Chain A
Amino acid sequence: MTKKYLLFHLVGLLSWASLAQNYTISGYVEEEKSRERLIGVNIFTPDKRIGTSTNNYGFFSITVPSYTQELIFTYLGFETVVYQSAGIKDQVITIRMIESSNMLQEVVVIDETKPIAEQTQMSAVEINIKQIKSIPALFGEVDVLRAIQYLPGVQSGGEGTTGLYVRGGGPDQNLVLLDGVPVYNVSHLFGFFSVFNADAIKSIQLIKGGFPARYGGRLSSVLDISMKEGNMQELHGEGSIGLIASKLTLEGPIIKDKTSFMISGRRTYLDVLAQPIIAAAEPGSTFGYYFTDLNLKINHKFSDKDRLYLSYFTGFDKFYLRYKETWLGNTDEFRANMKWGNGTASLRWNHLFNPKLFMNIAATYTRYQLGIQSSEVYYYPEGKEEYGFKLVSNIRDLGLKADFEYVYNPKNHIRFGANTIFHGFTPGAVSVLIDTPDEKLDSIINLAPRINSIETYAYIENDQHITRRLAINYGLHFVHYHIRNKDYFSLQPRVSGRYLLSDNLSVKASYARMVQYLHLLSGNNGIGLPSDLWVPATDLVPPMTSDQVAAGFAFSTPDGFWEFSIEGYYKYMNGLVEYGAGTSFVNPNNWENNVVIGGQGWAYGSEFFIQRKLGKSTGWVGYTLSWNNRQFDDLNNGEVYPYRFDRRHDISIVFLHTFSERLDVGFTWVYGTGVATNIPMFITSGLPPLNYYNPFEIYENFGSRNSFRMPAYHRADIGINFHRNTKWGKRTWNVSLYNMYNRQNPFFLFMDYDWFRQQRVIKQVSLFPIIPSISYIFKF
């Protein structure tokens, strides 16, 4: 009865706004030169009463009243296009936009689809990739995730790391999508660099709250990254040569106007450059570390209604060690390596059924794997002995999904779809090889058995403009999760809306329930070590849930130069999982009994954001005032304690200035309250276990969990770009200073003994002093 009642009202609401005579214009928006589809292009009628924007595939559909003759297409950094309607009839079109010739117009800090006050979606921001490249970076290596850390509500884990802590959540609570495929480990080199090569990326959107129903599976944020599609017209490339890494990107047509490709690779080469030194110091030995990644995308246009995308990404880090020693006719060869990384692939098909109905179907694959391998072979005159060891830990997902967008009428934009993911977890498998004259063994030992699970969700959401002032996005996200003999179901309501108080000022509010069926076990609070272990929610370890409410104001100046926003949020998390006291990643065996479950979390605070979007000088100031606490029955005597990344104050300042087409500078400053940590505070004597052979013990006591604060973190970086057009294209020299005033920021603390003073001392290790860097960037 209740369902019928709801359906009746839904149909009533939808048909209410469709009484007038309308027609639909739909299609794609492309960049003129490359024919690459543009995401987030703003489309509206001249009176601005009806508007929309292109989706992740450059598709739009807008239903307008019969009196509408024109549509206006705007995209920051591009010339505005005015489309004259070809009559009062449904039509499918392709709009090509030309990049603005005025370089200064390109300097846009954050590129939102429409003025912030008008967006129904709150707590979301799109980042302009060009701007990310202007922000100073560690070792000159442009980093997407580090740029996102400058936004309010987003915190970094610590010195140099790229982990994202969004509104009190952990780094495992971010759904990071690369062309629609989840990426599990987003870090290289223990978190100092992200796996995303900025040259291969077209757009980035971050959602911190008020999640639309189409997203799910993580509690705290959605980071939706789209790779470039490849130029349909001609071959182009760009690359850079830096102190620690170089990269190269090529894109171009395979069949002009039909098929294009994009390939981008990056590798660090510290190990290669160091080889001569190592070889001189230790003949016969070598060791090193590098990371590399490769992005590949091919897209084929069958017709204006059908398009196929193939995306592939692989990236890994590798430590390796080899030595060979020979003596008296004997030889000892030892090899060891540790390799960890991601691989993702997706095949997507876009189809336009009619001007109002768009479909995307995708098959996805993602994998994160850690492998440790060592082997040693002794050769001696009578024969040889061989010993080998290999550890593999991985997570693999296979997914199939379908998403639909249906523009029912000018006031209702409906999205619906479904997705099934097959998760496969191997927390740890070891193979051992022994081959000697006396013993032969070649066996596989499963430290923890492989676990499979199936996660299926379906969603429906509607972006409804009830009046010109009031717009609401509401929806439901339903999940069924099966593992072993256990089934979990969840129905997650989502709603967000805005009410325009004036043309430039709106009040916004949202609510979202999220459920996460994955846990990240990390003995280091998720800073990105390869030992981090992804495990599923099981019958013994239930899933995590969160309920987040947020409200705020958004204001933009009429000229579009300035935007202001203030948002307050409150997030309650339940079912959180932590390692129990004294446990760590080391033993994946029986991990379900090594964790404490049923934790609660409370994160709340306010975010302030002031941004200058246009002009020679752009940038923003973000400030977050927040509280972030946890409670587990089996930790800290059941008492509430601060989360490690409970930072009361977090400030980011980004300032970018373009002096001319040949010179621009970027400056950033960040400040964050010190992270909460544990250090021994006092010492007591104590009991040994009964009948144990030591008579008495001395214990170091940490006090309440996370009761000590590290010193505050702050740092300023500056970078200067010198551009020049050449015969073959454009080159840029980037000179930057990381940590320009050489702040000794805390990386970790440890206890030591000062023999001179005859007492214990606590010391802080800082990692990065002032670091100058230079890189050469080219584009053709």
Chain B
Amino acid sequence: MRKLIFIPILLLALSACEQVIEIEIPPHEQKLVMNAYLIAGDEWPYPTQSSEIEDAIVISNSVGVLTKDTIFYYDDATVHILKNGVLQQVLTDAEEIGFVWNGWDDYRTVYGYVPTEAYQPGSTVTLRAAHAKFSGQIEATQTIPAYVPITAEYFSGARPRIKINFTDPLGPNAYLIRVHAYYEQNTELYPTYFYSYDPGFNPLGWDEWFLEDGVTYTSMGLLSDAAFEGKAKEFELFLDAWSVSNEWVIEVTNIHPDMEKFFRSYYRYWNALDNPLAEPANIFHNVKGGYGTVCAGTRAIYEIK
């Protein structure tokens, strides 16, 4: 009978016999990568770290996943900006806009090409980029969405809420909605969590949680105009009950469909990354001849004090 004890040991040993071998994948052909937000409308005057990113066009390279190559952020590329098909600017001087952890143990300086002229709502903007190490050019085109001015009002009480009013221009539009606040003792704006019962509103983010009545808190979300196409809209959002502030900054950005695709892909990507059971998700790319994301939006800001 005592020998029986060896049976589970043998079985455990066999089942733990997972063998790990290395496999090859096809080599990757490096391509130029261009990333940029084309933001028009109200300036973002607040002290957050990303305002430089917003303005910059960043040119880099792709690398094969199994190579020792690393990503370079080029400061010697050439960027052409065309407005409605006409060359508007040629950018050759890049400036440092920050640092990025390049994977594993590598930190790199990020360079960006910053346009000198603002983007105009309704115009079609094409970005073209080239670099000596790569043949040909890569490009992406966006039509800058219309500017949609907003007003907003804060209502305190047991369920503090904000109502945002605007008039939707004709044509399909999607709005990125965020609320920022200065909290006590802070001088920097912070995103605020909120939820909405509006049927056209879709929360974005991985840092969401669920209440019994099914609402989802989020720090930003997308509002489709399918239900109020071309009409005046009053959008109501409910704030986190613990959000106590005297100043609110409401940000509503009329976004190009590519920005919506990018935002959705961004959260799917991060949601899937640490979940072995999740379907894999790719980041949205829309740069022809290379990789990267160029997406446009026109922002409206309203302050409640």
Contact = CB atoms under 8 A, between A and B. Distances in A.
A383 interface: no
Interface in A518-532: 523-524, 529, 531
Contact of B35 (A276, A582, A687, A769): A687
A431 interface: no
Interface in A559-607: 578-586, 589-590
Contacts of A6: none
B155 interface: no
Contacts, number: 214
A695 B25 contact: no
B275 A586 contact: yes
Contacts of A16: none
A78 to B, nearest CB: 40
Given A582-B281, A765-B18, A771-B14, A696 B98 contact: yes
Contacts of A277: 5, 8-9
Contacts of B104: 753
B227 interface: no
A445 interface: yes
Nearest to B18: A765
A582 B50 contact: no
Contacts of A690: 37, 39, 50, 54, 176, 253, 297
B14 A688 contact: no
A769 B17 contact: yes
Interface string B34-63: 011101000010001111111000101011
Interface string B72-95: 010000000000000000000000
A744 B50 contact: no
Contacts of B158: none
A698 B22 contact: no
A686 B282 contact: no
Q: What is the interface of chain A mostly: helix, strand, loop, or mixed?
A: loop
Contact of B65 (A274, A578, A586, A760): A760
B63 A701 contact: no
A747 B18 contact: yes
Contacts of A472: none
Given A702-B280, A749-B23, A763-B22, A582 B267 contact: yes
Contact of B100 (A585, A698, A702, A749): A698
Contacts of A579: 278-279
A1 interface: no
B28 interface: yes
B68 interface: yes
A581 B36 CA distance: 24
B186 to A, nearest CB: 14
A681 interface: yes
A711 interface: yes
Contact of A691 (B14, B19, B48, B291): B48
Given A581-B280, A682-B63, A764 B54 contact: no
Contact of A581 (B5, B28, B268): B268
Interface string A693-716: 101111111110100100100000
B18 A691 contact: no
Interface residues of A, number: 70
B68 to A, nearest CB: 5
B106 to A, nearest CB: 10
Contacts of A693: 48-50
A721 B14 CA distance: 23
A559 to B, nearest CB: 45
B119 to A, nearest CB: 14
Given A586-B275, A696-B100, A759 B262 contact: no
Contact of A582 (B5, B23, B71, B269): B269
B197 interface: no
A765 B22 contact: no
A701 B212 contact: no
Contacts of B243: none
A329 interface: no
A583 B5 contact: no
A678 interface: yes
Contact of B71 (A692, A698, A764, A766): A698
A575 to B, nearest CB: 19
A759 B105 CA distance: 11
Contacts of A582: 265, 267-272, 278-281
B263 interface: yes
A720 B268 CA distance: 51
B71 to A, nearest CB: 5
Q: Which of A273, A691, A692, A697 has the most CB of B within 10 A?
A: A691
A589 B208 CA distance: 13
B292 A686 contact: yes
B64 A682 contact: yes
A751 B49 contact: no
A687 B272 contact: no
Given A683-B65, A685-B60, A695 B278 contact: no
Contacts of A283: none
A764 B20 contact: yes
Contacts of B73: 685
B53 A273 contact: no
B148 interface: no
A28 B48 CA distance: 84
Contacts of A763: 20-23
A681 B272 CA distance: 16
Contacts of A398: none
B7 interface: yes
B103 A683 contact: yes
A691 to B, nearest CB: 5
B227 to A, nearest CB: 16
A685 B279 contact: no
B242 interface: no
Contacts of B295: 687
B220 A687 contact: no
Contact of B279 (A581, A697, A749): A581
Q: Which of A523, A590, A753 has the most CB of B within 10 A?
A: A523
Given A695-B49, A766-B19, A681 B279 contact: no
B12 interface: yes
A315 B60 CA distance: 56
B214 interface: yes
Contacts of B265: 581-582
A764 B19 CA distance: 8
A678 B280 contact: yes
A678 B282 CA distance: 10
Q: Which of A693, A711, A749 has the most CB of B within 10 A?
A: A693
B293 interface: yes
A758 interface: yes
B110 interface: yes
A715 to B, nearest CB: 14
Contact of B277 (A523, A760, A765, A771): A523
Contacts of B44: 691
A679 interface: yes
B156 interface: no
A771 B14 CA distance: 7
A177 interface: no
Nearest to A581: B281
Contacts of B282: 581, 701-703
B132 interface: no
Given A529-B277, A698-B71, 15 more contacts: A276-B5, A679-B65, A682-B28, A683-B62, A685-B110, A686-B35, A687-B262, A689-B220, A698-B103, A751-B65, A758-B68, A762-B65, A762-B66, A764-B21, A769-B19
12 contacts: A582-B268, A679-B65, A684-B71, A684-B291, A685-B292, A686-B283, A687-B37, A687-B295, A688-B50, A747-B18, A765-B19, A766-B21
Closest 8 CB pairs of A and B: A582-B268, A582-B281, A523-B277, A584-B278, A581-B281, A695-B98, A582-B272, A273-B8
Interface of A: 243-244, 270, 273-274, 276-277, 445, 447, 523-524, 529, 531, 578-586, 589-590, 678-693, 695-703, 705, 708, 711, 744, 747, 749, 751, 753, 758-769, 771
